[in-house]
């Protein structure tokens, strides 16, 4: 079991990855083979042990033509079929039975399938992040600059602090250092954003942030908390008079990291909340911020799987609570 897992890990970058030779070596140990070769549809990529190159080339061509395991002593080979497509070939020498060969080929194909799925998820998440950056609200930027301008005469020192906050917010939002950040970094950006909003609303915005220390270093997709907070401000507070409250909470729940953003605003119809998360509602008074929330949910599910993501609990007149549930540790999710 341990060697099987190690084979999968070594193939996490695919057949052409840097650890393909390690995967061949571990397969050899797992099967008790004399030599192992991994090939794509054109050539041998990685080998372990001594193999005749001409014999490998010949059995590779035969296997890819037959699309069935081929025995051509002293070699044996089986095709690697990944998601219905021919990806290459596994070649062995030594006393390895037909059933063991088929099982090993299945192990390699499964590992390659998982690697391709992980890469596809990363591409989706990166594309969604580019979309979200392109949607950084001009409405917010205009209002933030207007609030800073209004304080230049009445409170120049605060205006300078707000201008520094605005610069920090933009620097973080358009950072290009990676697709992931820590919870601590995300929350720092959120607090900067909320300070700018507090100035805009003449301090009528009450903010509570409660984060358990153990979740601060957790890596999460970049810009997943801020769009939720922005939606809480715009939908829950922007159109109503008087004091508004937004609470941001983070804590661990077993192996999960849970982040909640709750406002005491107008709330919305639960069916509308579902439409917002699917991207079916993005305009109009109640739909503002819908694209951002759908984007966040889509990226979370692309990175972690369909069982994770963003949930909304709301009702008309009862405020809204948005909850993120993700694993505290996930392979490939690492803040840079």
* pLDDT given for residue 249 in this prediction: 93
At residue 246, φ and ψ (nearest 5 deg) are -125, 130
The answer to whether the CB of 69 falls within 8 A of the CB of 77 is: yes
Q: Specify the DSSP element, H or E, that contains 298.
A: helix 290-304
* pLDDT given for residue 23 in this prediction: 78
* pLDDT given for residue 301 in this prediction: 87
Residue 285 has pLDDT above 80, yes or no: no
Query: For residue 321, what pLDDT band results from cuts at 50, 70 and 90?
Result: very high
* pLDDT given for residue 288 in this prediction: 41
* pLDDT given for residue 1 in this prediction: 53
* Average pLDDT along the chain: 78
Query: For residue 51, what pLDDT band results from cuts at 50, 70 and 90?
Result: confident
Query: For residue 147, what pLDDT band results from cuts at 50, 70 and 90?
Result: confident
97 vs 122, more confident: 97
Residue 41 has pLDDT above 50, yes or no: yes
- For tokens 């540790």, the residue is 329
- With 0-12 CB in 10 A as exposed, 13-18 as middle and 19+ as buried, what is 22? middle
Please indicate, yes or no, whether the overall pTM of this predicted structure exceeds 0.85: no
Mean pLDDT, residues 150-155: 81
Measuring CA to CA, how many Å separate 250 from each of 39, 211, 217, 308, 314?
Answer: 47, 4, 12, 16, 19
Could you give the angle at the alpha carbon of 128 between the alpha carbons of 123 and 133, nearest 5°?
125
Cross-strand bridge partners of residue 314? 320
Residue 310 has pLDDT above 70, yes or no: yes
Mean pLDDT, residues 15-30: 76
Please state whether beta strands 85-93 and 219-221 pair in parallel, antiparallel, or not at all (unpaired): unpaired
Mean pLDDT, residues 30-52: 82
Q: In what order do the strands lie in the sheet with 70-72?
A: 44-48, 35-39, 85-93, 75-82, 70-72
Mean pLDDT, residues 313-335: 86
Return the percentage of the chain with pLDDT > 90, whole number: 11
Per residue in 204-230, pLDDT (tens digit) is 788 888 999 999 999 998 888 888 888
262 vs 86, more confident: 262
336 vs 311, more confident: 311
Per residue in 184-196, pLDDT (tens digit) is 988 888 888 888 8
* pLDDT given for residue 323 in this prediction: 95
* pLDDT given for residue 46 in this prediction: 81
Q: Which has the closest alpha carbon to 265: 239, 229, 285?
A: 239
Q: Specify the DSSP element, H or E, that contains 210.
A: strand 205-211
Angle between helices 2-10 and 98-134 in degrees, nearest 10: 50
Mean pLDDT, residues 92-107: 78
Per residue in 240-258, pLDDT (tens digit) is 677 888 899 999 999 999 9
Q: How far out from the chain centre does Cα 113 lie? A: 18
* pLDDT given for residue 289 in this prediction: 44
């Amino acid at each position: 079991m341990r060697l099987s897992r190690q084979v999968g890990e070594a193939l996490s970058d695919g057949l052409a990855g840097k650890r393909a030779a390690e995967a061949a070596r571990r397969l050899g140990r797992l099967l008790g083979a004399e030599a192992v070769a991994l090939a794509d549809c054109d050539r041998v990529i990685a080998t372990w042990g001594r193999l005749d190159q001409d014999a490998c080339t010949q059995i590779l061509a035969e296997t890819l033509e037959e699309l069935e395991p081929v025995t051509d002593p002293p070699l044996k080979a089986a095709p690697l079929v990944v998601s219905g497509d021919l990806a290459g070939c596994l070649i062995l020498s030594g006393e390895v039975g037909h059933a063991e060969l088929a099982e090993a080929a299945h192990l390699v194909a499964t590992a390659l399938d998982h690697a391709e799925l992980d890469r596809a998820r990363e591409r989706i998440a990166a594309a969604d992040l580019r979309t979200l950056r392109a949607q950084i609200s001009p409405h917010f930027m205009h209002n933030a600059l207007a609030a800073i301008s209004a304080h230049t005469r009445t409170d120049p020192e605060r205006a300078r602090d707000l201008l520094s906050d605005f610069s920090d917010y933009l620097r973080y939002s358009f950072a290009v250092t990676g697709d992931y950040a820590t919870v601590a970094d995300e929350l720092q950006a959120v607090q900067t954003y909320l300070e700018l909003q507090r100035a805009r609303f003449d301090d009528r915005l009450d903010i509570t942030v409660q984060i358990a220390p153990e979740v601060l270093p957790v890596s999460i997709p970049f810009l997943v908390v801020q769009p939720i907070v922005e939606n809480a401000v715009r939908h829950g507070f922007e159109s109503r008079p008087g004091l508004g409250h937004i609470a941001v909470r983070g804590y661990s729940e077993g192996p999960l990291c849970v982040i909640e953003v709750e406002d005491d605003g107008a709330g919305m119809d639960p069916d509308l909340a579902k439409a917002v998360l699917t991207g079916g509602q993005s305009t109009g008074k109640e739909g503002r911020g819908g694209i951002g929330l759908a984007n966040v949910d889509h990226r979370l599910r692309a990175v972690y799987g369909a069982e994770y993501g963003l949930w909304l609990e709301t009702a008309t007149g009862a405020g809204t609570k948005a909850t993120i549930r993700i694993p505290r540790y996930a392979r490939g999710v690492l803040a840079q």
